[in-house]
Structure 1
């Protein structure tokens, strides 16, 4: 991948004289300052369906990285309050507990809430929390993102219209508060056009975040040469290269083998919400043995339905102006996102 981003990489000495005739007081041992609580210093802020889960997984396995669990705590997006509530991230104290196990050798401590790029307030909130925070952004063809994101919402019970074309045409009604699924925790997600309108989102991002604190990756470059993209991220975060050369696929389009059981875990009765959330976190922490085996049996891979040609053309017309805006902001050639034709290798 071309290097689109250019990344730039008190001790008080008091000599006090004793007053004439006064004897010098014996020096006392200084009281060591308490160790500062670990805090995040980098954020993988989106966009959804652009490879963030895979990158987060790879980074979490680097010896010098501590990655939050859950990957997406949604703490800084005040405009998505229900998501914060679901993850019990309503206070800074609760949020910082995610990082309590980080150690001094962890140079990069981070999380990956992919709604931060789309949020109108998250980036400002992060910079108010840590003015030197580093940001990773991954971008992809918006038509592909909108289509894939719809599948994710269906899978997570935030969307009840399984046909993407029909769901796309429900956006106006849903913006007016109609036809919103009862199990949808973030109605903003149902605005597929807004979720994938990256020109608008990136203009806000570039205005707020200084160049040395940001790294932008194209999904197609990440897929084409994952090792190179990974090494660029290592350098950006100040990590030693761990020599990783295997990058197994992570996630992909899925459907439920037992939808009722998955829904019970994702949307438990209110009285069971706390214990179920604790159980889910424990399961996320278990990477070996019976737990991952059982989790793998709860869902199956599914091919995403192809878009009807006329509908795909409608989507490309919808995103065209925004893609041109993004081209201008980044000075990248993204015409293939407008035409739908794959770009040549760069």
Structure 2
């Protein structure tokens, strides 16, 4: 449970707006695009503090330990600018709703959705790159999380028997219900298709939601280079080693003015290759996967007011 024992009169501030997620729905793109606006400021991407009930970040180098440290993140926000936060796990967090209700009940919220099958397919590729997944075959990674006959998820937690529970990340309907009940009109819902079809229009829609003037920019690019990992197991070992060596490397990083040696990034560049064509998710397997999502997806589409699933996509190949 996140420690929230702190007086709001303590130094620092809470963010004025948050990008809640979902994962693989353009969070990084929105972070980079919005952070370029002169009246918006993000201290960094994915502090993760508000969503400790979804993923405990204590093992990460940039862990935010308590509410005071979280508030301190936003002290460098320029006068007159809005402070922003972008952690895609926040969408699934019940704890975040309670913390914001207590400390920033008027915060504006943004959530971006996409077809859940597409989402988890892309999420699997990301976790391979990050070293949290070693099973390169997506279908095998999925099947270990669900009942072989019904297709239903075996757990409603983000992890299942020490491994990523992929159905959890595609079931965002119930979390959306909680956020809509808590935030009402302060929650802006979008679809990834909006960003892909016209990032400029999506940008202006968000600025309008935040009550910020358009700065006139019209040239943006979608973030996140799409690559394959050559050796997933080696990648995971490298990430684990980096975390274990953090106490030794931290003084060196501090002596370099906060700049890391970049050893992990260099190894990961060597261990990646241009994105190859991943095996398509067949029509039958997509339908099998949808059994884990259908009830929850109906909730999401009711709240969003439009289809979230890719219509007519049953036999399409998916790209991460």
Whole-angstrom distance in 1 between the partners of 2:187 and 2:235: 40
2:168 corresponds in structure 1 to: 194
Cα offset for 1:65?
Answer: 1.0
1:224 corresponding residue in structure 2 = 197
Quick check: 1:62–1:242 contact (8 Å CA) kept in 2? yes
- Using a 3 Å threshold, how does the CA distance of structure 1 residues 243 and 296 change in structure 2: closer, same or farther? farther
Q: 1:167 to 1:276 in 2, by over 3 A?
A: farther
| CA displacement at 1:328 relative to structure 2 | 2.0
Deviation at 1:282, TM superposition (A): 4.6
Aligned mates of 1:283, 1:233 — CA distance in 2:
33
> Structure 1, unaligned stretches of length 5 or more?
1-33, 181-186, 285-289
Aligned with residue 85 of structure 2, among 106, 111, 114: 111
Larger radius of gyration: 1
Q: Is the 8 A contact 2:48 2:89 kept in 1?
A: yes
- 2:3 corresponds to: none
Counterpart position of 1:90:
65
Q: CA separation in 2, counterparts of 1:65 and 1:277? A: 32
Write the distance in 1 (CA, Å) between the matches of 2:181 and 2:314: 29
Q: Is the CA contact 1:323–1:337 (under 8 Å) kept in the aligned structure 2? A: no
The residue that corresponds to 2:4 in the other structure is: none
C-alpha separation between the residues in 2 aligned to 1:277 and 1:242? 41
Find the aligned partners of 1:157 and 1:261 in 2 and give their Cα distance: 5
Deviation beyond 4 Å, 4+ runs, structure 1: 172-179, 256-263, 276-284, 293-300
- Tell me the CA shift for residue 256 of structure 1: 4.3
Query: In the TM superposition, what is the alpha-carbon distance from 1:274 to its structure 2 partner?
Result: 6.9
Q: Partner residue of 1:240?
A: 213
| 1:61 pairs with 2:32 | no
Please provide the CA RMSD for this pair.
Answer: 3.4
Tell me the TM-score normalized by structure 1: 0.73
Is the alpha carbon distance of 1:134 and 1:303 closer, same or farther for their aligned partners in structure 2, counting shifts above 3 Å?
farther
Matches within 5 A, 1:265-304: 267-273=241-247, 275=249, 279=253, 282=258, 297-298=269-270, 299-303=272-276
**DSSP-derived class of the 1:255 partner:** strand
For 1:240 and 1:278, the matched residues in 2 are separated by: 42
Aligned residues: 292
Distance of 1:124 and 1:77 partners within structure 2:
11
State the 1:273 CA deviation.
4.4
Cα contact 1:117–1:123 (8 A) shared by 2: no
Q: CA–CA distance in 2 between the matches of 1:208 and 1:235?
A: 21
Instruction: Provide the TM-score with structure 2 as the length reference.
Output: 0.78
- Note the residue ranges of structure 2 that are not aligned, 5 or more in a row: 1-8, 148-153
Conserved 8 A contact 1:152-1:253: no
